[in-house]
Amino acid sequence: MKNKFSLYLQLIRWDRPAGWLLLLWPTLSALWLASRGFPGWHLVLVFTLGTFLMRSAGCCLNDVADRDFDRHVKRTAERPVTSGKLSSQEALALGALLALLAFGLVLTTNTAAVAWSFAALAVTLAYPFAKRYVSMPQAVLGVAFSFGIPMAFAAVQSTVPPLAWGLLLGNLFWVIAYDTEYAMVDRDDDLRIGMKTSAITLGRFDIASVLLSYLIYLSIWAFLPVSRPLPAIYLVALCLALAQALWHVWLIRRREREACFKAFRLNHWLGFTVFAGLALSHVMP
C-alpha cells in the first residue's frame, strides 16, 4: 500500500508543484481583481485547493491518454501508467475522485461558478487529445489553464465580464510561451512519434514566438486590470516579470533540453510576480 500511494503521488506530480502554481497565480489574480482587493479566505481556499485538485486530475487523464506515446519519450517513459506500475483504470478512478472533490468545493460558491465549472471540465477533458489533431495544442492548454479566471469572476460577481475574457486571452499567450519551452524539451522525440506541438509547428521561429507571446501577455495584463496611471507597485512587478521573461528567452536561445526545461519550471515565479503586484496595488496604490 505504501508503494501504491507513492505511485499515486507520482501520477499527480506531487513532487513538481510548478505545474499547479502556473494555474494558481492567474486565478488568484482574477480573484483579487474581481473583489477589488482581498476576496476572503473562503474563496482563496476554494480556488487554491480546487486548482491543485483539477491539475492533479488532469495529470491522471493526460497520462492515460498519452501512455502509448510517453513510452517513446525519455522524460516520460517511467511515468506510473506508461511503465505499467498503475493501470489506466486506477489512474482514471483517481482522476474522477479528485475532480469530484474539486466540484464539491465549487458547490460552496454560487450558481454562476458551478455552471462555468462544466465548461472548464470540458476543456480539461479535450486537451489531452488535442495533441493528435491540432498543430498548436498549447493554445487549447492555454484555455484550460486560464479558465480559473472567468470562474473567479463568476464566484465573486455572479457574472463573467469582458475584463475576465480579456485576461484569459492574455494568460493564454503566457501559457503558449512556457508550454512551448516545455515542448522544446521533447521536440526530437515528438517528431519521431508524430506528436503535434507548438515547438514543431513554429520551427525556427520558436524562440521569437516565445518572446512575442510573453510580450503580448504582459501588455494585455498591463492594459486591462488597473486604473490609469499604473500603480507604482504594479509597474515594478510588470518590469520584474518582463526581466524574467527575457531571462527565459536567453536560457532557451540554444534550444538545449535542460535549459528549456529550466525556463519552463521557473515560469511560476513570473506568475507570482504579477499576482503580487496586483495584490499589493490594492493596498499600496
Q: Domain extents for the chain?
A: 2-281
Question: What does the mean pLDDT of the chain come to?
Answer: 91
- Residue 8's pLDDT is 92
Third-level CATH fold of 2-281: Tetracycline Repressor; domain 2 (1.10.357)
Q: Is the pTM of this model over 0.75?
A: yes
What radius of gyration do the chain's Cα atoms show? 19
Residue position matching grid coordinates 488597473:
226
Residues 176/215, Cβ–Cβ less than 8 Å: no
Whether the CB-CB separation of 55 and 23 falls below 8 Å is answered with yes
For every one of its 285 residues, what pLDDT tens digit does the chain have, with 9 covering 90 and above? 668 889 999 999 988 888 899 999 999 999 999 999 999 999 999 999 999 999 999 999 988 988 877 777 777 778 888 888 889 999 999 999 999 999 999 999 999 999 999 999 999 888 888 877 888 888 988 999 999 999 999 999 999 999 999 999 999 999 999 999 999 998 888 888 878 889 899 999 999 999 999 999 999 999 987 666 778 899 999 999 999 999 999 999 999 999 999 999 999 999 999 999 999 998 876
